[in-house]
Amino acid sequence: MLKKSIALAAAIAVSVCAIAQTQAPAPAPAQLGTVENVQGLVTVSDGTSIGNVVKGGPVIDGSRFVTSSSGSATLKMDNGCNITLKPSQSLTLQGKQNCDEMLAAIQSLGGNNGVFAALANPLVGIGTLASAALIATVRNGGPISAP
């Protein structure tokens, strides 16, 4: 009988330790507002997934919105701020930001910055230059390989 009581007490102790070690699920990120308007292609990501932005969709803390070269979106924030993302812009929202900080966090993705960023990687730069040289050679009637 004593052995059964000790075994039962040990089983209960192990169960209590296992229950104490389980962690509560992380709270869901807070909703900061809603998408009021979308034109063209606009995507949103949360660090683990990416999707298309739709009118009426939630604006979640920590989400990143990116507009294509023909996309735009208006975000209506619960703090009263209205944010308009124009084509080729991105914005990562942080709940602790006020309206001015959110507007200042909008980044432009257009211009030549993408070309310079691609050429900054030596392998991409060499590949781009080699491709351009090959295309120029073919257009001028030159051989692609030796006869």
Residues 1-50: pLDDT tens digits?
Answer: 555 555 545 545 555 555 555 566 767 788 999 999 999 999 999 888 99
**112 vs 143: which has the higher pLDDT:** 143
Using the predicted structure, report yes or no on whether residue 72 has a pLDDT greater than 70: yes
Q: What is the pLDDT of residue 28?
A: 76
Range 24-31, long-range pairs (CB < 8 A, 24+ positions): 29/60, 29/61, 29/62, 29/63, 30/60, 30/61, 30/95, 31/58, 31/59, 31/60, 31/61, 31/78
Q: What is the pLDDT of residue 131?
A: 55
DSSP string for 10-49: HHHHHHHHHHHHSPPPPPPPPEEEEEEEEES-EEEE-SS-
Q: What is the pLDDT of residue 106?
A: 95
Residues 76-101: pLDDT tens digits?
Answer: 999 999 999 999 999 999 988 999 99
Q: Is the pTM of this model over 0.85?
A: no
Residues 117-127: pLDDT tens digits?
Answer: 444 445 444 55
Q: What is the pLDDT of residue 142?
A: 60
Q: Cα separation of 75 and 64, whole Å?
A: 12
Give the three-state DSSP class for 99.
helix
